[in-house]
Structure 1
Amino acid sequence: MRLKKKTVALLISVLMLAVRMGEAQGLLQNVSSRVHQSLDGTWQIIVDPMETGYYNHSWKPKKNGYFIDEKPKTVSDRVEYDFDTSDELYVPSDWNTQNDKLYYYEGTVWYRKKFITKKEDKKKYHLYFGAINYRSIVYLNGERVGEHVGGFTSFNFDVTDLLKAGQNTVVVKVDNTRDKDGVPTINTDWWNYGGITRSVLLVETPQIFLEDYSVSLSKDKTIEGWVKLNDSSAGKVEISIEGIGKQQVKVKDGKASFKFDKAPKLWSFADPYLYPVTLSFNGETIQDEIGFKYIDVKGKDILLNGESVFLKGISIHEEAPISTGRVTTAEECQILLDWAQELGCNFIRLAHYPHSETMVRMAEKRGFLIWSEIPVYWTINYENESTYQNAENQLAEMIDRDKNRVGIGLWSVANETPVIDARNQFLNKLIKKTREMDPTRLICAALDTHITKNGKKTIDDPLGEYVDVIGINSYCGWYGGTPESCEAWEWASQFEKPMIMSEVGAGALQGLHGEQNERWTEEYQSAVYRYNIEMLKNIDFLRGVSPWILMDFRSPRRPLKRVQNDFNRKGLISEQGIKKEAFFILQDYYNSQPIQLNK
């Protein structure tokens, strides 16, 4: 049977994407607890808008591109680049806020780092990247290691054979060019920060090592889990949970499961208890802190440990407070969580992509339930199979990294997507994949479509049938209606399921004051919040709110001078950390709203 050219091209595209995404080894769990060397700090960079360091004039890949870090051997040699005399950028960070010339830049930047390390026999070495936006190709000592697609998920490569005792050179080709077939697609409402935006580690393990593990609450409310080695070896893994017990698990064919019969203390908002967990195998000891909860839905209720709860939340972008740019430090995470706690939140929506492991770990320690999301956003190419594979890979990498994080309560597969058949099929496949990987958490999506039926805003998106919790983004008073009109809005749903108002809000320039009906003033934003809160009080299936958004964040879609200046101004706090009036209106609502509901 002969295939059409378009079909062949599509098959090749899918195959190539699968090959690229398959190059990274299985994700190392809990790298910060393993023996590692940080490669953070100053890196040399070369900006390469014409891809000169990768392609020749015939647009074919070079064998002697910038990745070999070539130096002239004689005075007559021609080498037209030099990392040693090039500009520098700090890693982890973005290039947009470190160099004014790169503020709007989208394209390729080459990063180089020289480092000295030991190399022991009978050890393996792995290059671990917390995140690089968006496409990256990694080289070590001039040799290609592998590549990765996706700007917000972690990945690692086995570099044992390429690593040398003494000085080594790692070069990374980073390209943040937006792509209509990418995830996200070309059109977004946040800044496309380019660069190596999270930490880089050289991780050391035994040759046969504990690659991955899961520790969770079983259906009978005791503890169960599994361990996975990096190959099909046999051995014994010792697992110790402080206050619960210790046992050795016999591993066969690289995998084993285990169970503790003692029921653990449960993690909760008021008492976010985490158990010290130690796993030992082949001379390596890994320490973790893991909590236990169970979360479910029953009719219109969200049940945490069997109790109906109301999620008092806020949406957060990974935008650094005060300095702006991508969040890169634990201190910046701490500031954002301090603000959320002061607001009265027990819930945070980490939008619109997976945030750092540091943020997730810190949030669960503070008692925040977390909504974690992949950037299936607006009008991505739902009919392109390679786009789907990209989305599924980012979903899998998000779940792989954070499956042991008790704070994660909801996996979100999308935000504000159009209701079309291709999108429905696309998202249903992602939902099925999520349930296969993690049946213990809730699945949601943020929707923005509804009809008006019998005078009520009625949720009818067919995706509502497949998710556990329905998210609705509604901007009454900002993108439609007046602030006063919102109080009279009534809501209905075709689904007997809980709803989270995943976005609601309005923009305001901090410090700009005027009448309540004057756009961009703090008074206008406050009015939108006041009247929308009255609306929320009358939704009987509402079980949570995560208004948009905690802090103003950069967006090139927002060019209005003297007001936006490349910032989305819907934050309750300015980028400089100053609270707007609406912050205190939402705070009062949350302080008056009970967490546990008597249902």
Structure 2
Amino acid sequence: MEEIKNFVDNIHNEAYKNAYSAPLIRAESLIMQGGREEESLDGLWNFSVDLYDNCLRAKWFLEEGTNEEGRAVPLDYAFDDWETVPVPGVFNLAKPEYFYYEGPAVYSRRFSYGSRGNERVFIRFGAVAGEARVFLNGCFLGVHRGGSTPFCVEATESLKEGADNRLIVVADGTRHQADVPSLNTDWFPYGGIYRSVTLVRLPEVFIQDMKVRLSGRREREITVEAVAAGSISPDYNAFFEIPEIGVCEIMDFGPDGTGRLKLKVPELELWSPENPRLYNARLTLYDGENRASDRISDRVGFRTIETAGRSIRLNGRPLFLRGVCLHEDSRDHGKAVTKEEIREAFRLAREMNCNFVRLAHYPHTEWAARLADEEGLLLWEEIPVYWWIDFGNPDTFEQAKSQLSEMMKRDANRASVIIWSVGNENPDTDERYRFMADLAEYARRSDPSRLISAACLVDTVNLRIADRLETHLDVIGLNEYYGWYDPDYTKLSTILEQSAPEKPVIISEFGADGAFEAEEAEAGTGTKEKNDNSARRVRGTVKEQEEIYENQIAVFRRIPYIQGTTPWILFDFRTPKRLGKYQKGYNIKGLITEDRSRKKPAFYLMQNYYEEVLEHECGYDQTSE
């Protein structure tokens, strides 16, 4: 190869990202929080957009102020003098000029560290939009792909004593065809470090994960699985406890660091929406000298979820999922929703008589499932295998599998989560079938305690429910918008009446735009003008939305295999795809306005329908298990 004598790496090297492609931070490195004390790194971080990716190209993270000859060189950055933005938070809302920015952005902050002896230290990120490259004191720690799931990276060897530890994160929201999600979505692409960042101190041998679940409903048997990290020796063991009911059992670990228990606990109360009973599960690790070296804890509910023919059964009882879809979005905080905003969303869902929420279309914050556990709401969680993905690309599959693994690992102990979904509205091609079938079977092997689903499209040619993926699903999700995108309601009746699924079906999306402004505009149009030219009728009024819901509900009542509905969607939410007169950058299919202040008439229709369903369910003499 010809030597280039005037080659300048930071301006001529277009393969610069190759140096930052590994190590890849995967689900295997995720550490369960489990009640451990963590040091928050939240707060104001120095920040700048980095349109040309110069932090990586020019290696700003090294902070080299002199050249090889010891002479001062000019710097194109000033980490400590940059503006500040809050973490957690989305940078799009920090300034108007950042609103639509999706490229690389650089976050920096200093923090103090004082060693406490033999310890391993990790940095945990709740989520960073897009790709995240993490640098500590000039060392590249790794890259994480997937903007909605948590990850941990070890910092032990790169830390230094004192207050001058520099943490840099390059958060790159650039979209690519091979990514999950891909180029085309229908939600706002918020960017930045939008969930919490913490420093986690652990002993040299520690408990990395603990899963606790009900494995036998009638006999009240629970299964406990744990993983220890580090050089664990045969003289290590652990005590598993549920203090409220007097459980205390020894768990031994194998040479691979895994431990497993099965316990009969006859006095266990089962978790349900009516009785969201949670227990304190605790696992304490003891070293060879019988000293407690690590402890992990969690608030856990115990329940079973299964299907029987066309019915869904929670703790052995038939269950109709009275649900609604929800995006992770708020007017004031974007994707960085607060606990208070989650509680408010759940309260409004409860007001609508919901017992179920579909968290669309990516893993929401871990606090969603934790609060749902406490409040007794059932959840559908999914990964953003959304619309068109590069289904034939092995790397795309690995991204999807990694995000699925991180979501499942994070929420393994959440009783509220009853469905893992592997995708939404994908075309039924051969490559897509293999891609999603493999994901579904991976989820089933990894977690047999939950149902597997996907939100599928109808067969619009033959007018029936037909998707090859159904054979790999426990519950069929069906998205349809008859009355809105297709105004012919008779097609919906035909589809549902011509279909004979052997599994329960959830109508996972239906609905229509509903704008109060459009209603007011239509009201201002003269009656004669409307009659003379009906084509000029204003679309997307709250009245039209209400009519569509009325027609949809009338059809649902007639179809016995429908075991749940989740209308699209609880709140209006931001999306760059919707730029109509009344949309103004929002999907306005919400049952409540984007500021959460005003309920639309369709909200009350669903409220009444769910009350009717609930009364019907209560009319049965349902015996306990």
TM-score (norm 1): 0.91
**Selected match of 1:309 from 298, 302, 319:** 319
Tell me which residue corresponds to 1:491: 497
Tell me which residue corresponds to 1:269: 273
- Checking the alignment, whether the CA contact within 8 Å between 2:181 and 2:385 is kept in structure 1 is yes
Equivalent-residue separation in structure 2 for 1:597 and 1:20 (angstroms): 58
Q: Is 2:148 the partner of 1:138?
A: no
| Higher-helix-fraction structure | 2
**Selected match of 1:213 from 207, 210, 215:** 210
Whichever residue aligns with residue 267 of structure 1, its letter is W
- Aligned-pair distance for 1:441? 0.6
Whichever residue aligns with residue 30 of structure 2, its letter is L
Decide which moves more: 215-224 or 163-172.
Answer: 215-224
Tell me which residue corresponds to 1:113: 109
**Selected match of 1:252 from 251, 254, 264:** 254
- Aligned-pair distance for 1:485? 8.1
Structure of higher CA gyration radius? 2
Q: Cα 1:442–1:492, aligned 2, differ >3 Å: closer, same or farther?
A: farther
- CA RMSD, 1 decimal: 2.3
Equivalent-residue separation in structure 2 for 1:305 and 1:108 (angstroms): 47
- Checking the alignment, whether the CA contact within 8 Å between 2:89 and 2:333 is kept in structure 1 is no
Equivalent-residue separation in structure 1 for 2:27 and 2:609 (angstroms): 46
**Selected match of 1:299 from 306, 309, 312:** 309
**Selected match of 1:530 from 550, 563, 578:** 550
Q: Cα 1:41–1:468, aligned 2, differ >3 Å: closer, same or farther?
A: same
TM-score (norm 2): 0.87
SS in 2 for 1:54: helix
- Checking the alignment, whether the CA contact within 8 Å between 1:35 and 1:205 is kept in structure 2 is no
Q: Cα 1:393–1:502, aligned 2, differ >3 Å: closer, same or farther?
A: same
Q: Cα 1:127–1:471, aligned 2, differ >3 Å: closer, same or farther?
A: same
Tell me which residue corresponds to 2:570: 550
Tell me which residue corresponds to 2:61: 67
Correspondence 1:169-568 to 2 at 5 A: 169-219=166-216, 220-234=219-233, 235-241=236-242, 242-253=244-255, 254-263=257-266, 264-281=268-285, 282-320=292-330, 322-451=331-460, 457-481=463-487, 490-513=496-519, 518-561=538-581, 563-568=582-587
**Selected match of 2:145 from 133, 145, 149:** 149
Equivalent-residue separation in structure 1 for 2:437 and 2:253 (angstroms): 35
Equivalent-residue separation in structure 1 for 2:538 and 2:431 (angstroms): 41
Whichever residue aligns with residue 205 of structure 1, its letter is L
Tell me which residue corresponds to 1:164: 160
Whichever residue aligns with residue 26 of structure 1, its letter is S
Q: Cα 1:295–1:159, aligned 2, differ >3 Å: closer, same or farther?
A: same
Equivalent-residue separation in structure 2 for 1:370 and 1:596 (angstroms): 22
- Aligned-pair distance for 1:244? 4.5
- Checking the alignment, whether the CA contact within 8 Å between 1:486 and 1:531 is kept in structure 2 is no
Tell me which residue corresponds to 2:73: 77
Equivalent-residue separation in structure 2 for 1:500 and 1:492 (angstroms): 16
- Aligned-pair distance for 1:255? 1.5
Equivalent-residue separation in structure 2 for 1:386 and 1:358 (angstroms): 30
Equivalent-residue separation in structure 1 for 2:452 and 2:500 (angstroms): 18
SS in 2 for 1:283: strand
- Checking the alignment, whether the CA contact within 8 Å between 1:136 and 1:148 is kept in structure 2 is yes
SS in 2 for 1:491: helix
Tell me which residue corresponds to 1:8: none
Equivalent-residue separation in structure 2 for 1:524 and 1:484 (angstroms): 17
SS in 2 for 1:268: coil
Whichever residue aligns with residue 566 of structure 2, its letter is S
Equivalent-residue separation in structure 2 for 1:397 and 1:258 (angstroms): 23
Tell me which residue corresponds to 2:91: 95
- Aligned-pair distance for 1:284? 2.8
Unaligned runs of 5+ in 2: 1-17, 286-291, 524-536
Equivalent-residue separation in structure 1 for 2:33 and 2:205 (angstroms): 17
Tell me which residue corresponds to 1:10: none
- Checking the alignment, whether the CA contact within 8 Å between 2:465 and 2:496 is kept in structure 1 is no
List per-residue Cα deviations over 1:462-510 (Å, max 9, x = no partner).
1112100000001011100157986787434343010000001001124
SS in 1 for 2:54: coil
Q: Cα 1:573–1:163, aligned 2, differ >3 Å: closer, same or farther?
A: same
- Aligned-pair distance for 1:449? 2.4
- Aligned residue pairs, count: 571
List per-residue Cα deviations over 1:234-259 (Å, max 9, x = no partner).
31111111214112212232111112
List per-residue Cα deviations over 1:283-328 (Å, max 9, x = no partner).
33323110111111111000111111100000000002x4151133
SS in 1 for 2:349: helix
Whichever residue aligns with residue 260 of structure 1, its letter is L
- Aligned-pair distance for 1:459? 0.5
Q: Cα 1:16–1:427, aligned 2, differ >3 Å: closer, same or farther?
A: farther
Equivalent-residue separation in structure 1 for 2:198 and 2:347 (angstroms): 28
- Checking the alignment, whether the CA contact within 8 Å between 2:222 and 2:265 is kept in structure 1 is yes
Equivalent-residue separation in structure 2 for 1:324 and 1:72 (angstroms): 41
- Checking the alignment, whether the CA contact within 8 Å between 2:272 and 2:376 is kept in structure 1 is yes
- Checking the alignment, whether the CA contact within 8 Å between 1:488 and 1:535 is kept in structure 2 is no
Q: Cα 1:352–1:513, aligned 2, differ >3 Å: closer, same or farther?
A: same
Equivalent-residue separation in structure 2 for 1:402 and 1:383 (angstroms): 29
- Checking the alignment, whether the CA contact within 8 Å between 2:479 and 2:510 is kept in structure 1 is yes
- Checking the alignment, whether the CA contact within 8 Å between 1:376 and 1:413 is kept in structure 2 is yes
Whichever residue aligns with residue 52 of structure 2, its letter is M
Whichever residue aligns with residue 250 of structure 1, its letter is D
Tell me which residue corresponds to 1:49: 51
- Checking the alignment, whether the CA contact within 8 Å between 1:181 and 1:387 is kept in structure 2 is yes
List per-residue Cα deviations over 1:536-587 (Å, max 9, x = no partner).
11111100001100001100001113x1111000111111112111111111
Decide which moves more: 260-269 or 401-410.
Answer: 260-269
- Checking the alignment, whether the CA contact within 8 Å between 1:487 and 1:532 is kept in structure 2 is no
Whichever residue aligns with residue 262 of structure 1, its letter is V
Equivalent-residue separation in structure 2 for 1:16 and 1:361 (angstroms): 38
Tell me which residue corresponds to 2:30: 27
Whichever residue aligns with residue 245 of structure 1, its letter is V
Tell me which residue corresponds to 1:11: none
List per-residue Cα deviations over 1:1-27 (Å, max 9, x = no partner).
xxxxxxxxxxxxxx9999543567521
Equivalent-residue separation in structure 1 for 2:162 and 2:498 (angstroms): 66
Q: Cα 1:471–1:18, aligned 2, differ >3 Å: closer, same or farther?
A: farther
Q: Cα 1:45–1:112, aligned 2, differ >3 Å: closer, same or farther?
A: same
Query: Percent same amino acid among aligned pairs?
Result: 36
Whichever residue aligns with residue 358 of structure 1, its letter is W
Whichever residue aligns with residue 68 of structure 1, its letter is L
